[in-house]
Amino acid sequence: MKDETLRSALQDWEKISATQEQYLAYEARAKRIIDEEAAQREAELRVQEAEEKVAEAEQKATKAVQKTEERIARELLSKGSDIEFVAGATGIDKERVIEIKREMQLP
């Protein structure tokens, strides 16, 4: 039923007119439905939390890889490697290698 007031009134009427056994069965069924809905919501929240943790871990991993590549680029540049070689060896784009070289204040 779409009308909540009518639905509530019907449920109240059913409760009043039921025998003790029917009432207990009704209450048990209602509790089971509420518990199932709560369990489903809890599962959805756990999935959402896990997805957020995965996304965060992926970001950290990407950042760690980038830092490692830049550290290697700095090491290669400090040993006199040219920009093209460093870009190819590390996977860093040429413009970023030039920027790293400027940051290091190398000629």
For residue 54 the two structure tokens come to: 């995965």
Sequential pLDDT tens for the chain (107 residues): 457 787 787 777 777 776 778 778 888 999 999 999 999 999 999 999 999 999 999 999 999 999 999 999 999 999 999 999 999 999 999 999 999 999 988 76
For residue 100 the two structure tokens come to: 């790293």
Whole-structure pTM value: 0.57
Contact in structure between 52 and 58 (CB atoms under 8 Å): no
